Structure formats: structure tokens, C-alpha cells
């Protein structure tokens, strides 16, 4: 018999003490994300202006969108809404919309940079904010996705996935800035931004559809 992979987390019964503890943890993680996104967004937009980087600007805009998603999740898990299916549905849709708001902003700036031949330059602020996010966001995103599964909340999972998208964007931005400075590949920065925009649309569609919900209903039967 072949060794089986570790069992995936199973959704808890809403309202029981363990579920409520997980909901409290999810709220705290969302508040932490909100603080991080405020600092990250301000730093990224400033660094983007200094470097002339479209991908870095998109990274800053992503921080604003992620902050909105964190606020949505805090709203979803506060008070009586914590146990409301209607609130979960509304929050899931709102988090999905946050992805759809991000993608067009990135595309417009990326296309403009490709048309004008804008050359980004690596700056220490840009490198620092990208590197910090590359370390922190996977930790936050993975924790939220795991807790979202235990809560049976696509909204929480969707917010966690946004953190993981942020980490991908951070790595891509860092690579783009360095490639432009060292190799002269100025086109890599806006090209990476377009890839991230496509990722955002895909994740937004999955969050909107709420793929996890069918799994939770199946386990509940």
C-alpha cells in the first residue's frame, strides 16, 4: 500500500468553540495584513515613482486592494455576521471584486510602459519593500487559507490567496527591476505586470465562484 498524503484540513461546525477561536485568529491576521498593506502600499508607490516601475506601481495598487480585502474579512467575522451565510456570500463576492479592480489598473500602466519604452531602475526602497513582502506574504497567505478552510469561508481563503498573489508580484517585481538594471531588459517589468493581472483575474473568478463551498456541502452530508 502506498503512503497517503496528509489529510487536508476539514471544515469545522460553525459556532462551536474551536470555530470561534479560528474566527478570532482570522480577524487578527486580517488586522495585521491591513497594517502591513498600509505601510507596503505607501512604500511601493513612493519607490515606483523613484524607479519608474510599472510593476512596482501595480504592487502598490495591489496593497491597496489587499487592504480592502482585509477590511471585508474583518467585517465578515465581526459580531452576528460571523455566523451569517448571507454575510459570507457578500464578503466572498466583495473579495472577488477586489481582484477585478486590481487587474485593469495594472494592465493600463503596463501597456503604457510597453508603448513608451519606459525603463525602470532598481532602487533600494523598491528592492527592500519587494523583498520584505516576498518573505512575509506567503506566511500570512498560507495561514489564512488554512484557517479559511477550517471556517468553511471562501472569503477568508480568497484574502489569503491575495497575499500569495502579492508574494508572486513581489518576486516578479524584484526580478524585473534587477533584470532592467543589470541586463537592460526594460520590457520584463511591464510584461511581468501583465502576467500578474491575468493571475488576479483568474483568482477573482475562482473566489467569485466559491469553489470550496461544494466541498464543504459534501462533507456536511
Tens of pLDDT along 79-103? 888 888 888 888 888 888 887 887 8
Looking from the CA of 84 toward its CB, the CA atoms found within 13 Å total: 15
What is the pLDDT confidence band of residue 29, given thresholds at 50, 70 and 90? very high
What are 174-210's pLDDT values in tens digits?
777 777 777 777 777 778 778 878 877 887 887 787 7
The CATH number given to 17-215 is 1.20.1510.10
Q: Is the pTM of this model over 0.75?
A: no
Per-residue pLDDT at 8 exceeds 70: no
pLDDT of residue 85: 86
Per-residue pLDDT at 120 exceeds 70: no
Alpha carbons 97 and 93: distance in angstroms, whole number: 6
pLDDT of residue 190: 77
Average pLDDT over residues 94-115: 79
CB under 8 Å to 68, separation ≥6 — which residues? 98
What is the pLDDT confidence band of residue 4, given thresholds at 50, 70 and 90? very low
Dihedral angle sign, alpha carbons of residues 167, 170, 172, 175: negative
SS3 10: coil
CB atoms within 10 A of CB 216: 16
Dihedral angle sign, alpha carbons of residues 173, 177, 183, 188: positive
Alpha carbons 154 and 126: distance in angstroms, whole number: 32
Burial class of residue 160, CB neighbours in 10 A (0-12, 13-18, 19+): buried
Per-residue pLDDT at 167 exceeds 80: yes
pLDDT of residue 214: 41
Amino acid at each position: 500500500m502506498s503512503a497517503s498524503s496528509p489529510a487536508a484540513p476539514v471544515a469545522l461546525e460553525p459556532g462551536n468553540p474551536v470555530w470561534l477561536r479560528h474566527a478570532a485568529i482570522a480577524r487578527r491576521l486580517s488586522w495585521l495584513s491591513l497594517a502591513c498593506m498600509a505601510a507596503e502600499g505607501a512604500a511601493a508607490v513612493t519607490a515606483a515613482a523613484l524607479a519608474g516601475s510599472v510593476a512596482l506601481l501595480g504592487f502598490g495598487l495591489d496593497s491597496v486592494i489587499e487592504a480592502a480585502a482585509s477590511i471585508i474579512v474583518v467585517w465578515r467575522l465581526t459580531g452576528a455576521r460571523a455566523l451569517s451565510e448571507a454575510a459570507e456570500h457578500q464578503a466572498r463576492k466583495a473579495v472577488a471584486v477586489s481582484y477585478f479592480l486590481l487587474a485593469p489598473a495594472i494592465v493600463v500602466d503596463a501597456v503604457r510602459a510597453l508603448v513608451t519604452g519606459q525603463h525602470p531602475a532598481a532602487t533600494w526602497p523598491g528592492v527592500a519593500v519587494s523583498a520584505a513582502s516576498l518573505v512575509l506574504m506567503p506566511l500570512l497567505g498560507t495561514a489564512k487559507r488554512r484557517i479559511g478552510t477550517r471556517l468553511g469561508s471562501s472569503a477568508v481563503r480568497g484574502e489569503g490567496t491575495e497575499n500569495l498573489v502579492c508574494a508572486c508580484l513581489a518576486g516578479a517585481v524584484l526580478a524585473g527591476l534587477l533584470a532592467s538594471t543589470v541586463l537592460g531588459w526594460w520590457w520584463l517589468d511591464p510584461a511581468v505586470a501583465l502576467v500578474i493581472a491575468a493571475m488576479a483575474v483568474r483568482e477573482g473568478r475562482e473566489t467569485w465562484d466559491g469553489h470550496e463551498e461544494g466541498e464543504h456541502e459534501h462533507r456536511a452530508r
